[in-house]
Structure 1
Amino acid sequence: MKFFIKFITLGFATSLAFFNVSVADDRPNILWIVSEDNGARWLGCYGNPAKPTPTLDKLAAEGFRYERCYSSIPVCAPQRFTWITGINAISAGTQGMRSGVQIPDFIRYYPEIFQDIGYYTSKGKDAKTDYNRRSNRSGNDSWNEPKKLEWDVLKQKQPFMHVINTHSTHESRVFGAYNPNKHTAPKAGNLAAYHPDLPGIHFVYEKYNEAHRKMDAEVKIWLAELDQSGLAKSTIVIYSSDHGGVLPRSKRFLYNSGTHCPLIVRIPEKYKNLYPASKPGDTVKELVSFTDFPKTWLNLGNATKDQVEQMQGRSFLGKETEPNPEFVYSFRNRMDDRLDMVRSARDNEFLYIRNYMPFAAVGQFLPYLFNSQAMRDWKQHDLDGRTDAVTSRFFKQPRVIDELYLYEKDYDNVKNLAADSANAARIKAMRAALRQWQLEIFDSGFIPEDEMGQQAAKYELTVYEFVRNPELYPLEQYIDMADKSLELDSKNLGCFLEALNTPFVGNRYWATLGILNLSFVGDSTKGNNVLNAMQALLEKTTESQVVKAYAAWVIVRSGNDKQGQEALDFLKNLGYKTYSFRTVLNVLDWMDPKHSSPVMLDIYLNGKQSGDSARVITNHLISQASAEVAELVEQHSKAVNSITNHEKRLRNYSQKPENISAEKIAKQTTQSQAELARATAVEKELRAKLEAKN
């Protein structure tokens, strides 16, 4: 084999670089197979009674199965950022789903470092480049071959690092409506304790088992091709998912179902010095975080400490491994258009979850998630009053602040031990560990995403740089104020009111949330001192729009009708034309619908929202407005969708597609024009009725 070595000729002013020198290179090739959205318990070797993954089960018997491997964040794009850089997404402001946050040019991608140490890097079979950031370089630029899997090329380019991604288990694979007249729904053998026993839910379980059978068959083909190429004896095979999923309350959430992920590593005998346990087929119980992956894969290729210095994980495989951690951590922030902030710490026994926004339900409406029949049926089951104490908890508002689970004995995380005084010391210790980690990695979540972009831009910094400047982002102060906001102690009210006058927006934000949280547990926030302070925030021209949105909610909750209506009008105006629209939308959806539905209707009729934002508003009105308004909105939204679809068809027909005859195009154009006219007339009539209600 050949690889490049940089020779420096001592005693000369010039250096001779990158001579192609023929030397033996016995470092392993690395083949990393990633499936999307599936938690560990969907594999047979991790306990799925349906056993849909015989190939992966065999791979586990030939390799090493990690029992305690956890995603950093339970959704794809922020996890891809964490993988490609080795930096936790919350350390760079890229934790929001599809965030597009600018990152510094000096942050390197792990394939680039592999190339530095002489590896050929490639990805194929749907390996993605959605790294959830803006950058001055393309996601494909860091790979020698970014799109294809070519075994002959890999054979010539050893050592190599190749990534295969399959979306056969992606969440979208379980979409589609359950029809009892067309579908059978065998009882799921692994029904989670928090899921009600409903045919539509069992149907989705079986659909996802079938998705795993398809994925497993793909893996079988790739492993056979690896064998046929003659590369198997020199290639470490790694299999993992990209996070947990995909039934409701898994993907996007910090419970086991969202973060506990499969990790299987098969190591050829020639590299048995790298075995993490005594022999193939053994299981490994050490805690592993997905943040560890890039640093570990580079360690297998003998990268130096300097080369992986930016990375925040640890090396758990290779010649120089790092000590087992006491804890691993995960995080959750904005998922699509729905806001949240949750952090977790996990040791070898307990999972501790910290909910920083308890005023929002865990299971708030998220359009993409509600494409699943299981999610729709579960929600309807709850609306019908048929859920019990366990199956209803997902929808409760407000929710608990602290959660503590014995996560292996209580795998479904339904027995919250946080309220037991016997666990107070443990929670205190785990919270302290979480805080230390947040400080070490510069958790950027303590200024909300909508506001963070404004703050960083003001100083012409990326978020990554902004949060590392304590004069701009005093993180210790912010964590202190956030913790105080979650104490639900009216004795803190004076502290919150005082903090509203500090120069740091993070302190004002958490102080406002502290007052909001108090409004759910007593009357301490209904005094004139609080109302005047909140009103002052609304009137302050330099105040953050995000802070103002929450201050308006406090005023509405005060019970003062006049000021409450003025606050609602303020939110309505804020919702039309501002950077904080996403915050306003969420606040209105969390609010008591008797206050927020009229505002939502106004925005529905007169706003410029689209995509998920439009679906959140529409769902709010259909599910929470008066019966008459709900019916009109449902009919109107169908008319709008019909208009959109027919306009799209007409655009397609105007391009005269070659696969359709001219006669058929003319006929379908006429039909679509007629349907468009009918839908437009219906939409106009329904809009007039809704405007009369507004």
Structure 2
Amino acid sequence: MKFFIKFITLGFAASLALFKVSVADDRPNILWIVSEDNGARWLGCYGNPAKPTPTLDKLAAEGFRYERCYSSIPVCAPQRFTWITGINAISAGTQGMRSGVQIPDFIRYYPEIFQDIGYYTSKGKDAKTDYNHRSNRSGNDFWNEPKKLEWDVLKQKQPFMHVINTHSTHESRVFGAYNPNKHTAPKAGNLAAYHPDLPGIHFVYEKYNEAHRKMDAEVKIWLAELDQSGLAKSTIVIYSSDHGGVLPRSKRFLYNSGTHCPLIVRIPEKYKNLYPASKPGDTVKELVSFTDFPKTWLNLGNATKDQVEQMQGRSFLGKETEPNPEFVYSFRNRMDDRLDMVRSARDNEFLYIRNYMPFAAVGQFLPYLFNSQAMRDWKQHDLDGRTDAVTSRFFKQPRVIDELYLYEKDYDNVKNLAADSANAARIKAMRAALRQWQLEIFDSGFIPEDEMGQQAAKYELTVYEFVRNPELYPLEQYIDMADKSLELDSKNLGCFLEALNTPFVGNRYWATLGILNLSFVGDSTKDNNVLNAMQALLEKTTESQVVKAYAAWVIVRSGNDKQGQEALDFLKNLGYKTYSFRTVLNVLDWMDPKHSFPVMLDIYLNGKQSGDSARVITNHLISQASAEVAELVEQHSKAVNSITNHEKRLRNYSQKPENISAEKIAKQTTQSQAELARATAVEKELRAKLEAKN
């Protein structure tokens, strides 16, 4: 009898285990298709009159279209970090574009958690591995299949989570001659209010519509393959972009054009209990942040709360969803080599933007962005004095500190309501909500990136750990001082001078920026106490180089010729081989060129800059110099590039590549040596002419 009972018990346990597997296997597959750089309004179903996306429009009719979905940060790599971890990039110090910031090993990636709950994880078709941080793990280590899309394998491995990334709408697709119809490009039917009516801009609009047609055709193929595999009835299909874009003033910026993103979710009939609205084809108006994505996808797979504990978003789909938020938040910091710090809060009606570095123009020169003909034509239009109050605002320096928009009625965000006293209470409330969020997620931006690496390394901590230690990173104090720096009230001058003597670098940084901001609205920086305090910062050997760079700018702006020249010399020396070079470069570019030009020319001729840094310096010199000097700089830059290219070729030839014959290597080596000698002679001659001009 005991044996019989034991047999029955074991049989029941086995049946229960099989039942659990069956239940687990009945969970939905997830196919997430991501396109790059395109805001919501580029899709036909979101209002693009060109209607370049019939496949995605059909998907929206078969599924649910989210009307208020916003990226956390309007640029790709930091957004990928936010997705892969569920942690806002500013919470870990990875918000700078192409960041190499280390993160703790205990931070997990969402594909790992999917594997924990029994999902097969894979990505293919150009799925990215650049997650904008350093880690002891490779970007491919936490996927079962990191490179291929194989429907037969997915069919065997259900449930699965598969990610497809398409590059077809990437910003680079509007460079060059991508659109074969460029000579007959129609006028854009959705020209933004901030864009001037120029042929070059209409041309790029049509190029980007063409990019969407290509992307949409790819999606059509993938969805057809999903159907043919027999997996469509058990697979939730998600389509989104990775942020907004891609015309100038969209990607990288916190306006609708940079953060409002498409999100379409098609849910099979068998999972209709997961519908976010009554029926397919409906739209969903709840606020969604991209930070919510990984937590929500895991919720669809029935992950537990403990398994997603590190994640900062909310679950908006699945059996157990979280309440709709009152606000969603976005952030902007360094974009390539250009510095900035902007935060935004958005409710169901208003978008509030807080500019922490108002002394820099929104549309400062950024090399990659200026590869676009639309950007170059717009900038030239402004330099020619042909822009109006709306189309010129992008280039104004300084810019406004607070921006407030009715973001659906004013989709292009050109009617700033912040100055209207009737909105003072609203701004105060939204700023308070923003502050609370910054405290909750440990916003790491209140020590600038160049300095943050130094501070965290001093204590052998990752930035993630450093900002969570209030004894090292007193965030409330820093936000208070940053807010004071933006009040533009000379009554705060005493507070700033006092803060320069505190032990916390963040307080000294924001106090210095407060004094700098005052220099744009009055003459308080000519006060001897201010000049002496700034000079003391330059002379203090233990002071942050970043703080010193801004202090030097304050001195230059004071109008004191002797001290100003000494400050410029200090900046020039700081511009060589220092951890703060990026800060120095930006300060010099923001500065009045009558002061900065000689320093920039010296750094250009004697520094070892390359890539974006070199392009920023070259652009500064060409745009600010006389026609003669600009031509010399342009010719010299070409000579330097020629030298670099021929040196690279010679190094390659010295390796004796197997695919090139010895005879050809010898011939090409001789040619490159001759070209290198010519370029070197030209560079030397042009250098002498430029040095004579400085």
TM-score, normalized by length of structure 1? 0.96
Shift of the 374–18 alpha-carbon distance from structure 1 to 2, 3 Å rule, reads farther
Q: Give the drift of 1:690.
A: 1.3
Q: For residues 138-170 of structure 1, give each alpha carbon's deviation from its aligned partner in whole angstroms, at most 9, with x where no partner exists.
A: 111111111111111100110000000011100
Q: Is the 8 A contact 1:177 1:373 kept in 2?
A: no
- 3-state DSSP class of the match of 1:554? helix
Partner of 2:229: 229
CA distance in 2, matches of 1:644, 1:393: 38
Q: Name which of structure 1's ranges 2-11 and 637-646 shifts more when overlaid on structure 2.
A: 2-11
Q: Give the drift of 1:237.
A: 0.2
CA distance in 2, matches of 1:284, 1:10: 48
Q: Name which of structure 1's ranges 624-633 and 613-622 shifts more when overlaid on structure 2.
A: 624-633
Q: Give the drift of 1:18.
A: 13
Q: Is the 8 A contact 2:64 2:266 kept in 1?
A: yes
Q: For residues 78-113 of structure 1, give each alpha carbon's deviation from its aligned partner in whole angstroms, at most 9, with x where no partner exists.
A: 000000000000000000001110000000000000
Q: Is the 8 A contact 1:36 1:242 kept in 2?
A: yes
Q: Give the drift of 1:595.
A: 0.4
CA distance in 2, matches of 1:135, 1:15: 42
Q: Give the drift of 1:524.
A: 1.2
Q: Is the 8 A contact 1:2 1:20 kept in 2?
A: no
Q: For residues 528-569 of structure 1, give each alpha carbon's deviation from its aligned partner in whole angstroms, at most 9, with x where no partner exists.
A: 000000000001111111000000000000000000000000
Q: Is the 8 A contact 1:73 1:243 kept in 2?
A: yes
Q: Give the drift of 1:647.
A: 3.0
Q: Is the 8 A contact 1:3 1:118 kept in 2?
A: no
Q: For residues 422-473 of structure 1, give each alpha carbon's deviation from its aligned partner in whole angstroms, at most 9, with x where no partner exists.
A: 1111101100000000000000000000000111111111100110111111
Alignment RMSD: 3.8
Q: Is the 8 A contact 1:361 1:395 kept in 2?
A: yes
Q: For residues 289-320 of structure 1, give each alpha carbon's deviation from its aligned partner in whole angstroms, at most 9, with x where no partner exists.
A: 00000000000000000000000000000000
Partner of 1:637: 637
Q: Is the 8 A contact 1:5 1:17 kept in 2?
A: no
Shift of the 128–15 alpha-carbon distance from structure 1 to 2, 3 Å rule, reads farther
Q: Is the 8 A contact 2:122 2:149 kept in 1?
A: yes
CA distance in 1, matches of 2:5, 2:321: 25
CA distance in 1, matches of 2:675, 2:2: 66
Structure 1: runs of 5 or more not aligned: none
CA distance in 1, matches of 2:27, 2:243: 29
CA distance in 2, matches of 1:594, 1:2: 97
Shift of the 380–6 alpha-carbon distance from structure 1 to 2, 3 Å rule, reads farther
CA distance in 2, matches of 1:280, 1:547: 55
Q: Is the 8 A contact 1:63 1:267 kept in 2?
A: yes
Q: Give the drift of 1:284.
A: 0.3
Shift of the 177–589 alpha-carbon distance from structure 1 to 2, 3 Å rule, reads farther
Q: Give the drift of 1:653.
A: 4.7
Q: Is the 8 A contact 1:274 1:319 kept in 2?
A: yes
Identity of aligned residues (%): 99
CA distance in 1, matches of 2:4, 2:401: 54
Q: Give the drift of 1:675.
A: 2.7
Q: Give the drift of 1:182.
A: 6.9
Q: Give the drift of 1:632.
A: 1.1
Q: Is the 8 A contact 2:30 2:160 kept in 1?
A: yes
- 3-state DSSP class of the match of 2:79? helix
Partner of 1:263: 263
Q: Give the drift of 1:26.
A: 0.9
Shift of the 152–687 alpha-carbon distance from structure 1 to 2, 3 Å rule, reads same
Shift of the 21–15 alpha-carbon distance from structure 1 to 2, 3 Å rule, reads closer
Shift of the 108–17 alpha-carbon distance from structure 1 to 2, 3 Å rule, reads farther
- 3-state DSSP class of the match of 2:470? coil
CA distance in 1, matches of 2:178, 2:200: 6
- 3-state DSSP class of the match of 1:480? helix
- 3-state DSSP class of the match of 2:487? coil
CA distance in 1, matches of 2:527, 2:567: 16
CA distance in 1, matches of 2:2, 2:595: 70
Q: Give the drift of 1:670.
A: 4.1
Q: Name which of structure 1's ranges 198-207 and 246-255 shifts more when overlaid on structure 2.
A: 198-207
Shift of the 180–265 alpha-carbon distance from structure 1 to 2, 3 Å rule, reads closer
Q: For residues 46-77 of structure 1, give each alpha carbon's deviation from its aligned partner in whole angstroms, at most 9, with x where no partner exists.
A: 01111110000000000000000000000000
Q: Is the 8 A contact 1:8 1:17 kept in 2?
A: no
Q: Name which of structure 1's ranges 369-378 and 170-179 shifts more when overlaid on structure 2.
A: 170-179
Q: Is the 8 A contact 1:2 1:21 kept in 2?
A: no
Q: Is the 8 A contact 2:179 2:207 kept in 1?
A: no
Shift of the 20–301 alpha-carbon distance from structure 1 to 2, 3 Å rule, reads closer
Equivalent residues in 2 for 1:125-144, closer than 5 Å: 125-144=125-144
Shift of the 618–85 alpha-carbon distance from structure 1 to 2, 3 Å rule, reads same
CA distance in 1, matches of 2:223, 2:422: 50
Q: Give the drift of 1:693.
A: 2.4
Equivalent residues in 2 for 1:8-47, closer than 5 Å: 25-47=25-47
Shift of the 191–658 alpha-carbon distance from structure 1 to 2, 3 Å rule, reads farther
Partner of 2:387: 387
Q: Name which of structure 1's ranges 356-365 and 666-675 shifts more when overlaid on structure 2.
A: 666-675
Shift of the 245–4 alpha-carbon distance from structure 1 to 2, 3 Å rule, reads farther
Shift of the 225–693 alpha-carbon distance from structure 1 to 2, 3 Å rule, reads same
Q: Is the 8 A contact 2:349 2:407 kept in 1?
A: yes
Q: Give the drift of 1:14.
A: 19
CA distance in 2, matches of 1:4, 1:590: 85
Q: Give the drift of 1:661.
A: 6.2
CA distance in 2, matches of 1:204, 1:405: 27
Partner of 1:320: 320
Q: Give the drift of 1:21.
A: 6.3
Shift of the 691–158 alpha-carbon distance from structure 1 to 2, 3 Å rule, reads same
- 3-state DSSP class of the match of 1:470? coil
Structure 2: runs of 5 or more not aligned: none
Q: Is the 8 A contact 2:179 2:210 kept in 1?
A: no
Shift of the 7–217 alpha-carbon distance from structure 1 to 2, 3 Å rule, reads farther
Shift of the 508–163 alpha-carbon distance from structure 1 to 2, 3 Å rule, reads same
Shift of the 21–61 alpha-carbon distance from structure 1 to 2, 3 Å rule, reads closer
Q: Give the drift of 1:185.
A: 2.5
Q: For residues 324-352 of structure 1, give each alpha carbon's deviation from its aligned partner in whole angstroms, at most 9, with x where no partner exists.
A: 00000000000000000000000001000
Partner of 1:517: 517
Q: Give the drift of 1:657.
A: 5.5
Q: Is the 8 A contact 1:5 1:18 kept in 2?
A: no
Shift of the 287–13 alpha-carbon distance from structure 1 to 2, 3 Å rule, reads closer
- 3-state DSSP class of the match of 1:140? coil
Shift of the 6–584 alpha-carbon distance from structure 1 to 2, 3 Å rule, reads farther
Partner of 1:473: 473
CA distance in 2, matches of 1:578, 1:595: 21
Q: For residues 477-497 of structure 1, give each alpha carbon's deviation from its aligned partner in whole angstroms, at most 9, with x where no partner exists.
A: 100000000000000000000
CA distance in 2, matches of 1:662, 1:626: 48
- 3-state DSSP class of the match of 1:238? strand
Q: Name which of structure 1's ranges 23-32 and 448-457 shifts more when overlaid on structure 2.
A: 23-32
Shift of the 329–559 alpha-carbon distance from structure 1 to 2, 3 Å rule, reads same
Q: Is the 8 A contact 1:70 1:290 kept in 2?
A: yes
Q: Give the drift of 1:673.
A: 3.3
CA distance in 1, matches of 2:692, 2:18: 75
Q: For residues 204-257 of structure 1, give each alpha carbon's deviation from its aligned partner in whole angstroms, at most 9, with x where no partner exists.
A: 111111111110011001000100100000000000000000000000000000
Q: Give the drift of 1:628.
A: 3.0
Q: Give the drift of 1:659.
A: 6.0
Equivalent residues in 2 for 1:26-105, closer than 5 Å: 26-105=26-105
- 3-state DSSP class of the match of 2:405? strand
Q: Give the drift of 1:577.
A: 1.8
Q: For residues 370-408 of structure 1, give each alpha carbon's deviation from its aligned partner in whole angstroms, at most 9, with x where no partner exists.
A: 111111111111111111111110000000000000101
CA distance in 1, matches of 2:323, 2:153: 37
Q: Name which of structure 1's ranges 132-141 and 234-243 shifts more when overlaid on structure 2.
A: 132-141
Q: For residues 184-210 of structure 1, give each alpha carbon's deviation from its aligned partner in whole angstroms, at most 9, with x where no partner exists.
A: 231111111111111111111111111
Shift of the 64–685 alpha-carbon distance from structure 1 to 2, 3 Å rule, reads same
Q: Is the 8 A contact 1:9 1:15 kept in 2?
A: no
Shift of the 356–182 alpha-carbon distance from structure 1 to 2, 3 Å rule, reads closer
- 3-state DSSP class of the match of 2:418? coil
Q: Give the drift of 1:649.
A: 3.7
Q: Is the 8 A contact 1:7 1:19 kept in 2?
A: no
Q: Is the 8 A contact 2:178 2:207 kept in 1?
A: no
- 3-state DSSP class of the match of 1:595? helix
CA distance in 2, matches of 1:5, 1:604: 87
- 3-state DSSP class of the match of 1:139? coil
Shift of the 210–118 alpha-carbon distance from structure 1 to 2, 3 Å rule, reads same
CA distance in 1, matches of 2:548, 2:187: 49
The answer as to 2:508 corresponding to 1:508 is yes
Q: Is the 8 A contact 1:501 1:508 kept in 2?
A: yes
